[in-house]
Structure 1
Amino acid sequence: MGFVFILLYFLIVALVIEISVIAFTLTGLEKGVARYQAISMLTGTGFTTDESQLIIDHPIRRRISMGLILFGAFSLAVIISAITNILSDDLRLNKLMIISSVLLVIFILGKTPMTKKLLQHRFEYEMKKNLDISELPIKEALFLSEDDVVTDLVIEEKTPLDGKKVEGAFEHGHDINLLFIKRGEVNIRENLVDETIQAGDKLYLYGNKQAIEKLTEEMESEKPR
């Protein structure tokens, strides 16, 4: 009976992880990253990665992560207690089976398109209601459509933009906006139009994804061989 209890509890843990993965992906997180971070938070290991910033900077993901961390701490205590009392008859398997069944139903519902759509709308509403635009992650703040993107472009020596004034660097009518230039450790934002682009600069661009990809391809094709 004790082994059945432990197996059922591990099933609960697995379902909690998968439900959390669904919730994270509905906020825009990639599934692989979501699963790794969920397991990291649940076990209290490996959460200090660069990807953890994606959780910390997002208010809804922070709420999900808090629940996972608390559940992980509780789970450790339960598992230790179960192993200690492995021969006990009073393991309350019926209640554990009910919890497993409820979580399984939640997991199945969470996989349905209708539930995902409802949760996405709810998450978007919470983001807009509770946050100033300055607190939003870049994607939610600036990606106004599927074709919008924020990216960086490193300028190499003797490529088309090397030595050009910012004012004349981008063709009129193309949806490409220069946010700022990173030159070494300095971020240049003021008087950008008067700035001359130099080799080694990193340009942070915002605009139409296809237009920026085309510019990147042109830069690659015109590199000196």
Structure 2
Amino acid sequence: MLVLVICLIIFMTFVMEVGSIAFKLTGVEPSNARFQALSALTGTGFTTKDADIITKSKTRKKIAMILMVIGHIGLTVIVVFAVNLPQLISSWQLIIGTILCIVTYLFARNRVFVDKLDNQIESQLVKKLHFKKEPIEEVLLINDEYKVAEVRLETECSLINKSLASLHLTSKGILVLAVKGEDRVILTPKGKDIIRKGDTLTVYGKIKNIEEILCK
């Protein structure tokens, strides 16, 4: 019984990881995606802003609904089994359960394994479920034509390793408000600043221009 409970917890953790990657594919910030998945899975932790991020996208709503259903069923089963643990637990179950916990912890702490697992999950979501990777996260919709958005730049993006001045984005109706990378935050970007792989640009401009120019 103890082994089953631990396996269910491991499964729920895996589901949360899949959910967080699915959220990232829809444009949710990587730093926020895991929290959103955990909130949906447990049915707790949502703020008004978090709820808005989910409800304004049909794909995100579907992901959240699936996570909520799995979470409700999974947590119910875990609680039911956990209540009976004192009467049913045995020494061999305790040993196997401890081994499972240690092995799971070691794998979870291995960044190489986690990165490979995440990449595999992402490729399967794109391939099997036809997920489309969305680099744009809408921050503020001004009207039907203009918005403030965050654009995450991936490896294949044509803007990478170029200066803002060389991109001539202002002449194309796009104003770069900020640049955020792994080791830097530029709050007042200048023309000499170089765009790097993995950077997130906070931009203002026409919706059509942002989608056509920054996401190609």
TM-score band w.r.t. shorter chain? 0.3 to 0.5
Please report the TM-score for the alignment, with normalisation by the length of structure 1.
0.46
**Max Rg structure:** 1
Please report the TM-score for the alignment, with normalisation by the length of structure 2.
0.48
